[in-house]
Chains A and B, each alone.
Chain A
Amino acid sequence: MIDSKIYGEHVTAWCPGCGNHDVLLALKDALARQDLEPHRFAVVSGIGQAAKIVHYVRGNGFNGLHGRALPPAQALKLVNPELKVVVESGDGCSYGEGGNHLLAAIRRNLDITLIVHNNQIYGLTKGQASPTTMTGHVTKNNPLGVFDQPFNPVAVAVAMRASFVARSFSGFKEHAAATIVAAMQHKGFSLVDMHSPCISFNKVNTFAWYKSRCKEVSHDPANWDEAMKTAMVFGEEIPIGVIYREQRPSKETLLPQCRDGAMYRRPVDMDKVAAHMLSYA
């Protein structure tokens, strides 16, 4: 195992005590446990507090637009299957603005890992409701409390048979790191719904709130019916761990043109271009 110091020590722009600090530690720990040198992976993100993590890990990074972390990450994996690709984002970024991309990413099943720092609130824009904010939660923009039903990412992912679905809590450091390792080791699309408190704007879903509710799952993650049942549980009890896992080939392994590794190294075959051109004669 390499030393996680190799991923650098950066001054962050996060509030002291924010759950993102723990996710960062868990990520570095997970990378180190897999012996991943900085040039062998890329962290891709969108916008939000969580998404800033790209700037706090020594490695390759692509910090794109709000909600748009998954599209570039998937394309990167397609054109360079040799790179490990990790996507980090917030619940607003991945479940709100980028919701459609999440559904498509589950269907594509490329070998990438999406870690959603789910603080059930918009952090960077200072406290508006996010898709996972619970009904009744009073926020700045919902003085009467949120009326909408919360989005259940785990249930949706299991329903779509995403090939790896897990939930974790950043407050449980070992659990968080081990879950990220398992997700990254899974060949195919993996989602880690990582609950990570926003101490400044979410006074409901606090460290203590999660700590008393998060319980390791006990069902067989290969059993879809059990997984679906577990996925529907969220509230007084929050099941954490691998909720659903299924082995099926990831898309980049199915595409013949992706099998020779990074595409940028391929020279242009002008003879083939010529043959293609002459097919129009």
Chain B
Amino acid sequence: MREELHLILGGEAGQGLDTVAGLLGKAVVRSGRHLLTVQHVMSRVRGGHNNFRMRLASRPVQGPPDTFDLLAAMSRESVDLHRERLAEGAVILVDGGWDMAPEPGLIGVPFAELAARPVFRNVALMGVLGAMLGIEADILRELVADNFRAKGDQIVSSNLDVLAASMRWAADNTPSLPLPGEGDSVTRLAMDGNQALVLGALAAGVRFCGYYPMSPATSIAEGLAQVAVDMGVVVEQAEDEIAAANMALGASFGGARSIVPTSGGGFALMTEAVSLAGVMEMPVVFAVAQRPGPATGLATRTEQADLELVLRAGHGEFHRAILAPADVADCFHLTHKAFDLAEKSQGPVFILSDQYLASAVRSVEPFDLGSLPSVAEPDLSDADPDGYHRYDWSAPVSPRRIPGHGKSLVLADCHEHDEQGHIIEAADIRVRMQDKRLAKMDVLQAEVLPPVFTGEDESDLLLVGWGSSGEVLREVAGILQGRGVKAASLCFTQVWPLAPETFLQRLHAAECVVAVEGNSTAQFARLLRETTGFHIANSVLRYDGRALTAGYVLERLAPILEAL
């Protein structure tokens, strides 16, 4: 039995491959295995070529797969497109009706017989794959029944018949590719980064989400909208991003924890509100899921190129924190933390993720909700309402009260203002107010997440990454260590502010440092240099719209390793 299996499902948009990948992924996780499903979809609703890459394993997996043991092709194009990436002895499932020349590993599935109508083909494929992977029939049946329940008993039973027939056919006609079992049944979740982000926001008590649809952030708003009534959240699809972000500030003024999901193109429009949050000292969380630019770029692909945009967005000088989750669990925990940090610092906090992380489905342990720290609250005391000043400057963070709660009057202002929030132009008050706001850096600094280091203290090769590139680095470092290289990784899940005392030593101690990023100019390496003076001369960069993989990084590290 193998420890790991890589699957690729290819076909046209509109064929229901996402349903197969979703249900099969869930089945894999329910059967106790680990999962990573990466989607490659085109920016179109029908046609074109999409694929879902699944990495299944009996132990936790990190980055996306490079080669595949099984290709399930729902369109002929798919066979040619992915042939080069198939591993030795790979199985290729095609439609038996395609009349293809026989070759080793090629299996024609009689879809016309197994699925009376084309709409059943995805369930037929699921039956075949489920049987090959040795997933218990009960798990598959339950998932299929749940998935079609809303469509009525008739549809459920037809789909279950297709599933059973397909599994029977596969048992007789395909090789089996099972993974080692987990033994005892463990509960794991199958979710993508955006779903975990939504959960983190809910756990932090999010009450308002303002958004304007843009891939790959839309599913955050959709996820919140699904549970909005039950969880008590207002999700407003605004007329544009400018409105969405300004709404979030209005909601925050009203005491509602607010989130604004968007991507680079939408965020570009929101920068005026970022600046407004800065001067108003308004807590707000922006979730920026990056995709390639400039401008509309590649709408459904991934990149890590908006760090500098998010870092500098907004005019004038004010502080912010930028959290960059590396994996699904981080999406949950860092979102929860972002709300706390936004309230503690009374300003904008960013979650900077990307399309890969946002949409890749992973197996993950349920989050420990009981041990979550509490999220900071506004001041609900209403003590001495007449003496209350929103921008009391005796401390960098003034008590923030909520309009309508008690008799205290709250004034939020976009101009430079005095302690009460009234417009001023006096030089001395301006300086004092600006100093007060800048002093909030201490609040942010006190909470900075140090980067995660893996490997030996004195490494020959130190790989530095941030956000979703982090986990690929860990995998690469592990592979290199297995080959006898003294490799280590340093992964940043907070990219601003930085606390050099938590990592600078590591950079100096390594023989060779390589930055690995999903952009074309090594933005994070530049930021590290600007902040610490440390220059990372080598980099492995990916900006073809695809996620970094271990194979991609290893190939480009080869010349660097040779020179070591």
- Looking at the assembled complex, report how far the CB atom of B141 sits from the nearest CB atom of chain A, in whole angstroms: 17
Our pick among A75, A104, A264 for the contact of B239 (Cβ within 8 Å) is: A104
Q: Are A264 and B256 interface neighbours, CB within 8 A?
A: yes
Residue contact A55 to B423, C-beta cutoff 8 Å:
yes
Residue of chain B at shortest CB distance from A46 = B414
Q: Is B403 an interface residue (CB 8 A)?
A: yes
Q: Which of B199, B205, B410 contacts A276 (CB 8 A)?
A: B199
B246 touches A64 (CB 8 A): yes
CB contact under 8 A between A44 and B409, given known A60-B403, A263-B207, A272-B231: no
Flag if B203 contacts A270 (CB, 8 Å).
yes
Contact B239 A100 (CB under 8 A): yes
Q: Please, how many angstroms separate the alpha-carbon atoms of A54 and B125 in the complex?
A: 63
Is B208 an interface residue, CB under 8 A from the partner?
yes
- Compute how far the CA of A40 lies from the CA of B79 in the bound complex, rounded to whole angstroms: 66
Is A76's CB under 8 angstroms from B250's CB? yes
Given contacts A83-B254, A263-B234, contact A71 B247 (CB under 8 A): yes
- Contact mask for chain A residues 86-108; partner B; CB cutoff 8 A; 1 contact, 0 none: 00000000000000110110000
Contact partner of B251 (CB less than 8 A), chosen from A79, A104, A278, A280, is A79
Contact between A54 and B411, CB atoms less than 8 A apart:
yes
Q: Do the beta carbons of B204 and A71 come within 8 Å of each other?
A: no
The stretch among B62-70, B185-193, B462-470, B490-498 that forms the contact with chain A is B185-193
Q: Does A59 contact B (CB under 8 A)?
A: yes
Question: How many A residues touch B, CB cutoff 8 Å?
Answer: 58
The residues in A between 231 and 281 inclusive whose CB is less than 8 angstroms from any CB of B are 255-258, 260, 262-270, 272-274, 276-278, 280-281
Q: How far is the CB of B49 from chain A (nearest CB, A)?
A: 28
Whether A104 pairs with B243 at a CB distance below 8 angstroms is: yes
With A60-B409, A63-B412 already in contact, the answer to whether A277 and B236 are too (CB < 8 A) is: no
Question: Please, which residues of chain A bring their CB within 8 A of the CB of B412?
Answer: 61-64
Chain B CB within 10 Å, residue with most, of A58, A78, A256 = A78
Contact between B251 and A76, CB atoms less than 8 A apart = yes
Contact status of A280 and B247, CB under 8 A, knowing A64-B414, A264-B254: no
**Most B-side CB within 10 Å, residue of A75, A82, A104:** A75
Contact of A262 with B243 in the complex, beta carbons under 8 Å: no
A235 to chain B, nearest CB (A): 31
Please tell me if A73 contacts chain B, counting CB pairs below 8 Å: yes
Measured between beta carbons, the chain B residues less than 8 angstroms from A255 are 229, 234
**Given known A75-B247, A281-B188, contact A80–B404 (CB-CB < 8 A):** yes
Determine whether B329 belongs to the interface, using a CB cutoff of 8 Å to chain A.
no
CA distance A67 to B246 in the complex (A): 10
Asked if A74 CB lies within 8 Å of chain B CBs, one says yes
Q: Knowing A39-B409, A101-B239, A277-B369, say if A64 contacts B234 (CB, 8 Å).
A: no
B95 within 8 A of A: no
- Complex Cα distance A59/B239, Å? 29
Residue picked from B195, B208, B239, most chain A C-beta under 10 Å: B239
Contacts A264-B254, A276-B227: A64 and B378 contacting too (C-beta < 8 A)? no
A277: which B residues are within 8 A, CB to CB?
189, 199, 366-367, 369
For residue A28, CB closer than 8 A to chain B, the reply is no
Please indicate which of the listed interface residues A70, A71, A268, A277 has the most CB atoms of chain B within 10 Å of its own CB: A71
- When C-beta atoms are compared, the residue in chain A nearest to B190 turns out to be A280
Closest-by-CB residue of B relative to A255 is: B234
Task: Select the residue from B408, B411, B415 with max chain A CB neighbours within 10 A.
Answer: B411
Please state if B234 and A257 are interface contacts (CB–CB under 8 Å).
yes
- Complex Cα gap A211–B253 (Å): 39
Question: With contacts A64-B249, A268-B204, A278-B366 known, is A273 near B199, CB below 8 A?
Answer: yes
A104 to chain B, nearest CB (A): 4
Q: Pick 18 A–B contacts, CB within 8 A, sort by A.
A: A38-B409, A39-B407, A42-B404, A54-B413, A55-B422, A64-B412, A65-B273, A72-B247, A74-B250, A75-B234, A75-B254, A76-B254, A79-B256, A82-B404, A256-B229, A264-B255, A264-B405, A280-B195
Known: A265-B255, A281-B366. 9 other contacts (CB 8 A): A52-B423, A55-B411, A60-B404, A65-B414, A71-B244, A71-B247, A72-B251, A277-B199, A277-B366
